[in-house]
Every structure is written in structure tokens, then in C-alpha cells.
Amino acid sequence: MNIESGNKIKVAVAMSGGVDSSVAAVIMTNKYGKNNVIGLTMKLFCYQDTENKKSCCSLDSIEDAKTVCNKLGIAHYVINAEKEFKKEVINNFITEYDEGRTPNPCVRCNKYIKFDLLIKKAREYGINYVATGHYAQIENNGQEYKLLKGIDSGKDQSYFLYDLPQEKLQSILFPLGKMTKLNVRKIAKKYDLVTAYKKESQDICFISNTVEEFLKSRIKQKSGSIVDLKGKKLGKHEGLALYTIGQRKGLGGGFKEPMFVIRSDRKTNELVIGPEINLFTNELVAEKIVWVSKKIPTFPFNCKTRIRYQSEETGCQIEEYNNKIKVYLATPQRAISPGQSVVFYLNDVVLGGGIIAG
């Protein structure tokens, strides 16, 4: 990425309290000097509402971020983003489940919080660049910015970043994009950072127990029938919001073969289950489409796609479809879930993506 050199560069590093953002701060400080780099940590929710101390946004993590900044000699600030996070991420998460979809809160957090609110806050400090610990790359070919996968295929996070427009990409730095996790750990140990041996959180940051328990406390549940693909009643469910496509647990027993959630019917309040083979399909419809490039692709076209984070890529053909797009998959995919993101790639370049509608 081509940006100015010298003391004119001011960078705010998004500090989550993890090893990745800590090493991003090391790299930025070494490159631009400690007087030109600050650490920004966002307080995203009321910590009385969660006991998830391993969360990337916990009080312990905020303290770790502060400790790293002190060691590097850079200023550290905490931004209260509870109101925005609750509106754009937590409330949306609850609403989506209540309406029968399976959302991806990390995609929305990146779009509305990390690369919207955080960039705005950084500019209040007179800073035009925000660096994060994401494993992805940004390139500028002189005409537009391109979003690319990180070189560490096991850590690549480009899937979560497809919804970043050109004006945001020009303000973002991903210093770990050309690094492996192993090398990031080595740097953290070399600088004796408090986060060097810290384990990664795989949980949703604002949920301290399970998704099911979280939803039970926030969505009024209505029990109904569990039925097979022919409509035969097989049992009772505790509330449709508590079940996701592909789920096996909590469906009862006594079946001749393993049964999975195939879909839910909001009109009849029925949960439809069936054998695993019925979870596979080779097409989907997506909406709210975003293209990273300034140029909208000419339909139809072929590329590769992922239907969820860390799923295997598969070839696909994309066509326009009633103001949405239809995606024909070369390899049938399991448990395609409305509400999840589908992301499109051409080699290592992220073309864009959208939300699965069905």
C-alpha cells in the first residue's frame, strides 16, 4: 500500500488486547515512530452483562492493550462504543435469530464499528490511518484499492472484510497481511509482550455462556412441532430461534438415522428436520451485495466463493436475479444458512459479497 513516508504519517492501531493487534502496534511503531502512533481500544458493551474474561473486548484485554502500549512508549486511549455496538451488532444479532436467520456479528462489527466508528474517532485525534491485526492485505494499483487474502491461509480474515468500500480501504493498514501467525508469535515473544502467549478467543465476544442461553434471555420463545420433510410430527421444539440449519443436538431421539435441522417455518412455527443429505444444495440467492472494486462486474461471471468463514472455496457462476444475485455452486455445500455472508474471490482478490437470503 502506497502512503506518504516520514513524520507526516499518523497511525491509530486498533488494540483488542490480543497478540495480533499487539504485534501490529510493534510494526507500526517501528516504522513510523512512537510519536506518530497511538493505540485505540473500544469498550463495546457493559461488562456486568458478561463474564467472558477471555473476550477480545473484556476489561482484562483492555488492560493488556494498555500494558503493550506503555511498553512500546505510545499513547493509549479507550473509546466508549457501547451504544453503537449494541445498536449495530448486539441488537441485530438478536433480531436476525428471531426472524430465522443466522447472522455473522464479526462482519457487522468490522463494517460499523472497527472501520466506521473507529476511523471517525481516529480522525478526531488528527489521524488518517487505522491499522489492525487482521490477516488480510490491501493493494493500490494507482486506480483503486484491492482487498486480498492474507498469506497465512489458516488465518486469512478477508471473509469478514468484504463490505469495506474504497473510501475506507484507503484509510486502513493491515501490517500482518504478509505474515504467518507463527512469525507474529515470535515477534511478540521477542518484544516480551504480555500478550505473547495469550490464546485466541473463538467465542462471540458479548456472549459469556452459550448462544442458546443468550437468546433464551432476550427472545420470547414459543414451542411448536418438529416435523419431518413430509410434515409428520416427530416431537416438540423450544422455540425456532434456538435452532440453526445443520444442527443435530436437541432434536430428540428414536430416529432410524441421524437427523438435522433442514429449515424452520415461521408461518406454521414448525422445525423441519431430515437426513444430512438434505442439507446439501448447489445454489443460493444473496442480497445486499457489495463490490470492492469501483466497477460492478458484468453478469454472468465465474469466480470462487465461501459460504461461511473457513469453509472450503468452491467455483461458482453468478447471475442477476430480481435485484439480487443467484449463485450456482460447482460443489454442493452443506447447511447454507440465510443471514450468513457469501464472499467472492478471484484468485487471492476479494471481489465482494453479500448476505445469503435463501
Catalytic positions? 109, 205
Say how far apart CA 222 and CA 42 lie, in whole Å: 36
Q: DSSP state, 351?
A: E
Residue 166: CB atoms within 10 Å? 13
Quick one: CA torsion of 26, 27, 30, 34, rounded to 10 degrees?
A: -50
Do 75 and 39 contact (CB within 8 A), yes or no? yes
Q: DSSP state, 296?
A: P
* Residues near 320 by beta carbon (within 8 Å), at least 6 away in sequence: 299, 300, 326
Say how far apart CA 2 and CA 104 lie, in whole Å: 31
Do 302 and 321 contact (CB within 8 A), yes or no? no
Sign, Cα dihedral of 162, 310, 51, 185: negative
Task: Report residue 219 as a C-alpha cell.
Answer: 427472545
Do 223 and 237 contact (CB within 8 A), yes or no? yes
Cis peptide before 300 (omega within 30 of 0): yes
